[in-house]
A and B are shown apart, each in its own frame.
Chain A
């Protein structure tokens, strides 16, 4: 059924069932993934989907529901689910936003200029070059291109109509190196808006560089040791801890940052910002899912905590204005607090300069176990890690099979050096950018 006539029909039926205010959220996604293995197309995936999420006010309570098949016969169940939710919702509803029209659009236009065949040969060439990068590179665990075009329409019966379209490409490379029976891996990814040759080099240097550097790695005995979290590690770690800055976590007493607003939280080297319209970001949005207009903001300014991430509900509770962080994680979820493109501002040191500053210690190049080894309620973490042992400011040998443990907040307070090498975490989850951080001492365990 055509989208606009479906919405009109839905609004009409909703009114007849006693729903005063109603808002639809329609997300259309077109996606293409190409991956290759040993010079051949391995998988090719193409999709088009259009899904609908609904919220509305019934007897002064908000209700929610969703649907993936836009057809007339589904409307009854859709409204019924919404009303059932509203009936058990104990919280009084706030009015929906009204009378705003807004449209933003950013397309990765250059990607649209390439044919499917161009994209396939680009990935095949990346595979060929990665395999030829070094004789120790025996195989690739991943070599793929993905593009996504995302269109959103938010429309309600109070005159609100917002739309946004954006598109982006994504390359990822996983490398397996083998030497003397030892097997090591490396991984890299990049959000792109064009198929540049330079991206291949960047991906190879990072993925192959890591796999090769780890060959011959061994553990280190338990100790306290000075640590540099390399850019990819710092950004992954922060991405997984970012929820402690969400006003929902703070208000639900599930964040160690309760009562810390305005206080010094981190070393003065640390400033944290969010830019919802970052070029080559995970998201490009001029508004959030509650029609709050979004702009760049500073959360931590030279170590001082200035703000949490708010949606309308948490902001109202705190007596503040929404920071335009009211997002639905998917069409099946109601509005929560979520972020767009958040990052630590970069410093001016290269990784080599940070190593010289540290003199003796460990550069952590890889961490695992983030989905379980961190406690966002306390800031504690205990993760498995790989890295490079540094003596007299230089790398002496690779280290693997160790655990790394500490507390995020104490660690941020101890940051003594900031790299200039800002990099973002995987856009599949929370998107966070960080340069390499020299963080002082952490605990490690190993054989």
Chain B
């Protein structure tokens, strides 16, 4: 993607101009993103992203620049410009480049090898299955996206990594209408695989599941407000822990002492039932990578083990501030962003209960089957998220569906309030938006119960 001699010249120049660490990121990404409505192509396109990012550190200062002109003159000029605020000269030599072996995520059909017409045909299958599910289904949007991102990352420590991240995902959004009421259901299966992914799953089953969710919600009443036990189902419900504690365990907030979990390593911060893991190496998972965006081979990081805080997610820059090693947790949306510590596939590990036991031992509460999204203030730990499918639990049984529910709470508190964890771990697929852009992430958990949460609704 760039010649070795040019890479070495850029790293050399960055160190000569005062940097004590320099890094190059080259990205070439073939992507397709299309949106369909009512089974017809509505918008989107295929194309190719290309750019180069250069980052230099000096102590705790970091400079970053990017361009899509990858000529020698342009890259050396950029290096010079961004190094200017570092003010000075250095005498460090970059180390000899040695290749880092990425974690391998095999795929069969590369996104550029399948015609758009065939990609569109998959979305039409989802449209048809959702539309045929029920008379109440009024509108179906199906989006498809894929990418074939090739990156090269090299740094002055002598690490050179190349990675190829092939991803495929379908987003199925179904609206159900009764009278003037419209509610939606959504599902988004995705993987770090090529287009063969669509032949390995049942697109129709996923589409019907989104349609079922929409129909259930359009017939639901508003959720009541108040404090109650909340049972969160297996799968993407794990997004709650992504928001509630994941973000507060990222070095970007921990390093500056701006997280509720700063300085608490080794302490009991959660119920003994809670083990929280971030693993960017899960084979073919949506949130996985071969190497992180600083060129480190991805791995499994245990963040909380049986309630005890074991580690943070750390990038190189924040690692300097913390005096700790990077954990292969640095990510960026593309070359337009400098990387920072982010999550990959984050999940609560299995416990010993079963889903049935949890529900039957809850006399009254809320069952959160699907959640749509949430956010957190990492400084305070206060988080919120909204449910796309929820039910009341009455007398230890799942009762009537309710819509429009929001859950709020505090990350530090909720970790202590987990009082039952089942053994049915699943990981769902989603996005996370933060300082270094929008990223593909996995979030998961087994079914679990939080003994009390604030539920907001209009009922």
User: Which residues of A from 2 to 51 have beta carbons under 8 Å from B?
Assistant: 37, 40-51
Known A-B contacts A49-B68, A382-B458; the reply to A405 vs B258 at CB < 8 A is no
| A394 close to chain B: CB less than 8 A | no
Binds A, one of B9-17, B35-43, B393-401, B414-422: B35-43
Count contacts on A: residues with CB < 8 A to the other chain: 76
User: Considering only CB atoms, which chain A residue lies closest to B388 in the complex?
Assistant: A372
Binds B, one of A73-81, A194-202, A430-438: A73-81
User: Considering only CB atoms, which chain B residue lies closest to A178 in the complex?
Assistant: B379
Known A-B contacts A369-B374, A382-B404, A445-B456; the reply to A183 vs B380 at CB < 8 A is yes
| B82 close to chain A: CB less than 8 A | yes
Q: Tell me, rounded to whole Å, the shortest Cβ–Cβ distance linking B149 to chain A.
A: 13
Q: Contact: A368 with B375, CB < 8 Å?
A: yes
Residues of B within 8 A of A48 (CB): 67, 69, 78
Q: Tell me, rounded to whole Å, the shortest Cβ–Cβ distance linking A342 to chain B.
A: 22
Residues of B within 8 A of A85 (CB): 41, 45-46, 116
Binds A, one of B101-109, B180-188, B283-291, B359-367: B180-188
CA distance A116 to B82 in the complex (A): 11
| A383 close to chain B: CB less than 8 A | yes
User: Which residues of B from 13 to 55 have beta carbons under 8 Å from A?
Assistant: 31, 33, 37, 40-41, 43-51
Binds B, one of A88-96, A235-243, A277-285, A356-364: A88-96
Residues of A within 8 A of B66 (CB): 47, 49
Interface of A, helix, strand, loop or mixed by DSSP:
strand
| A229 close to chain B: CB less than 8 A | no
Q: How large is the interface on B (under 10, 10 to 19, 20 to 34, 35 or more residues)?
A: 35 or more
Q: Contact: B51 with A49, CB < 8 Å?
A: yes
Q: B456 is contacted by which of A334, A378, A382 (Cβ under 8 Å)?
A: A382
| A254 close to chain B: CB less than 8 A | yes
Q: Contact: B63 with A183, CB < 8 Å?
A: no
| B272 close to chain A: CB less than 8 A | no
| B234 close to chain A: CB less than 8 A | no
What is the 8 Å Cβ interface bit string for chain A, positions 254-293, against chain B (1 contact, 0 not)? 1010000000000000000000000000000000000000
User: Considering only CB atoms, which chain B residue lies closest to A219 in the complex?
Assistant: B454
| B333 close to chain A: CB less than 8 A | no
| A336 close to chain B: CB less than 8 A | yes
Binds B, one of A60-68, A153-161, A317-325: A60-68
Known A-B contacts A43-B338, A45-B338, A88-B117; the reply to A401 vs B43 at CB < 8 A is no
Q: Contact: A40 with B61, CB < 8 Å?
A: yes
Taking Cβ atoms with an 8 Å cutoff, the residues of A that contact B are 37, 40-51, 53, 64-69, 74, 77-78, 81-82, 84-85, 87-91, 116, 120, 139, 141, 176, 183-185, 219, 222, 252-254, 256, 332-336, 368-369, 371-373, 375, 377-378, 380, 382-384, 400-407, 443-447
Closest 9 CB pairs of A and B: A403-B456, A372-B373, A445-B225, A384-B384, A66-B47, A369-B384, A445-B456, A64-B45, A382-B406
